[in-house]
Structure 1
Amino acid sequence: MEQQNVEKVYQALDQMAESLESHENIAYLDALGAAMEYIIDRETELTEKPIVKQQLDKHAAIFDKQGYKKEEVRKGIQLAILKGMKGATQQQHMLTPDTVAMLIGYLTNKLVGKNDNFRLFDPAVGTGNLLTAVLNQVEKDVQAYGSDVDPTLIQLAVMSANMQERQIEFFHQDSLRPFLLEPVDLVVSDLPVGYYPDDVQAAQYDLKAEEGHSYSHHLFIEQSLHYTKEGGYLLFVVPNFLFESDQARSLHAFLQQQAHIVGLLQFPDSMFKSESQAKSVLILQKKGTLTTAPKQALLVQLPSFKNPNAMSNVLKQINDWFDNELTGLKN
């Protein structure tokens, strides 16, 4: 039944976006943002054409008749966004896979422990898919924040959050510039990988390159630590080559000074088109006066998610590790 509802959400959004795309000659992702806005407010500035309004009203009506679960809405939106991103040439127009988002949500629950409330931040929020997937898995009182420089992506993130009835405060800005944000308990982010073009701003960072452009993924790690409380945790989706690049030595030295490396969980290579695209989850804890490094870091090579028995065994090992090594956030 849930999958049927996901399909219904997707089809309604897709039909609305296609109608706006074809009649108003705008990009599918922009049309999708406008379609979600129309579902929420029954208004759009993009069209005055009766035939388009008729289509929008017809498909928006399904959201009045049936209350969809937050995850059904998120997954339906995700399918529409994936359609819009097919063939997209911009590297940042990528979506965190659901299997990755589910693991981040699971680890979030482990790190949060018995805390009833906490503050959560994604500095590379994109369309909000990872952030809302995590929120939908955590039955807690969460103050959530997200930031992205891309106007199309942040618009989709805002509308997606509204459709899932999630309260999230968004920043539309370069996330490597200062924020008006108090430090948070937990950071989750699928880090943008590549070079940061603003050398003047990069010069403010310890992890700036000695020559040429700095790596944006390194700067995001430093920026995230800056906005994390002492003892807070950070969950990053990182490239497997993170500690093998030409600037890896300075990153390693910086992390040893600022954080405890809590764990590294490597996804199966079969999830990715090529070895160079393979990723892992890096778990850090920001050092504080009361923090200590785990006796043994959580190092895991994850099996294929299609192998439930192997996955079950690994999750048991992870659970045991958390029980023995980590007590979670202390508010």
Structure 2
Amino acid sequence: MAEDNELQNYFDLLSNASKILKQALSSTYVDALAETLTNLADGKVYVENGAPDQETVTKLDKLYEQIKAIKLSEVQHKQAITVNIIQAQRLDNAEVNKLMTPDTIGLLSSLVAFEIFKAMKVKNINMIDPTIGTGNLLIEFIEQMNLAGDFDINAAGIDNDETLIGLAKAFSEVMNLNLDAYHQDAIAEWDVTDINLALADLPVGYYPVDDNAAKFKTKAEEGHSYAHHLLIEQTMNNLNDGGIGMFIVPSAIFQTDQAKKLSEWMVSNVYLQAVLDLPSNLFASKEAQKAIVVLQKHGGTAQQAGNVLMGTIPETENVKDFENFRNQVQDWAKTNFKG
């Protein structure tokens, strides 16, 4: 019970510090939370052009001392931050495409990735999330991979939203994870190289810059192209030979008006290894349902899986079905991914 009180105290203090900073800087809640986390990681209040003022700095310093005095486990620490992110996004009325990816999706993605990299006997993972958003998917994924096995993970993230990339960077610093953060359009050229894993909860919709889309094989015949198609192609192009791409996409991705272009590109450039519908209890409606699609870039030891892993992931609460699913993933990985 005492632990629950500590968790609540941490959440309340972090929330109060963010609200004070929001008022002092006339910023959004998410911006204020990002700056609060950065201040906590740096151990001091960042002041620029006299803002926040000295009175506010004194208040914040006191709150930060109280926050630092609270001892939480890594899991609790992350939980307190993610609930603050959810609150901040709700208060800011954040767009649907910018909402935080739930922890469960990070957990399920890590379960599949763990078996793949174990089968490939790969310990060093250089990974990227090209649409990192709040950073929660990437951070939850890394935490789960570290719990499950002995991996050396280097992470990078890209986002075109300055507020979100700042939040992701600050979140990772507070969680003692080293993240290389890039504020840019992920459809434009990347500076990151030597990547063997990509993970992304892709924003769904049309990409407005037709000139940038022109070089992609997944571009639309006419009009705007789907951003999530371009992002899949761009990401896979930037992976090492045999690299793995794991994408959270609408379950109906292969049934849309632009699906033919995506399928044609995939046949020539990647192996489709798995399509797994996420548990339906994670989504408000059938239309909102998403899936994990696992692609592998041609080259290296990569080969097309004899059987593409397909189906719906059981709810984690359904212990027996979930254990069967885990065994199925393990067998599939051992059979189809070589070291």
- Whether TM exceeds 0.5 here: the answer is yes
Contact 2:275–2:310 (8 Å) recurs in 1: yes
Aligned equivalent of 1:111: 116
Q: Spell out the pairing of 1:1-331 with structure 2 (5 A cutoff).
A: 6-41=7-42, 42-45=44-47, 46-50=51-55, 52-66=56-70, 68-86=72-90, 88-113=93-118, 114-139=121-146, 140-288=151-299, 290-327=301-338, 330=339
- 1:250: Cα distance to partner? 1.1
Q: Tell me by how many angstroms 1:122 deviates.
A: 0.7
CA contact (8 A) 2:10 2:70 kept: no
Report if the CA contact (8 A) 2:243-2:297 is conserved. yes
Offset of residue 33 of structure 1: 1.3
The residue identity in structure 2 corresponding to 1:258 is N
Percent of aligned pairs sharing the same letter: 29
Structure 1 unaligned regions, length at least 5 = none
Shift in alpha-carbon separation, 1:24–1:288, aligned structure 2, 3 A: closer
Asked whether the 8 Å contact 1:71–1:133 carries over to 2, the reply is no
Shift in Å, 1:8: 3.8
How far is the alpha carbon of 1:6 from its aligned partner?
4.4
Partner Cα distance (1:3, 1:137) in 2: 22
Once the two structures are TM-superposed, the CA of residue 66 in structure 1 deviates from its matched residue by 4.6
- Kept in 1, the 8 Å contact 2:244–2:295? The answer is yes
CA distance in 1, matches of 2:310, 2:250: 15
Residue 103 of structure 1 aligns with an amino acid whose one-letter code is L
- Alpha carbons of 1:293 and 1:67: their partners in 2 closer, same or farther (altered >3 Å)? same
Q: Structure 1 residues 85 and 187 mapped into 2: Cα distance closer, same or farther (>3 Å)? A: same
Q: CA deviation at 1:207?
A: 0.9
Q: Deviations over 1:127-186 (max 9, x none)?
A: 111111111122321221110000110110111111111111111100100011213111
Aligned residues: 327
1:43 & 1:163 partners in 2: Cα distance?
14
Verify the 8 A CA contact 1:5 1:72 in the aligned structure 2: no
Q: Secondary structure of the residue that 1:138 maps to in structure 2?
A: helix
Structure 1 residue 18, shift from structure 2 partner: 1.4
TM-score (norm 1): 0.92
**What secondary structure does 1:231 align onto?**
coil
* Secondary structure at 2:97 match in 1: coil
The Cα of 1:21 is off from its aligned counterpart by: 2.4
Change (3 A) 1:149 1:53: same
**What is the rounded CA distance, in whole Å, between the counterparts of 2:76 and 2:160 in structure 1?**
27
Give the alignment's TM-score, normalised by structure 2. 0.90
Structure 1 residue 25 displacement after superposition: 3.1
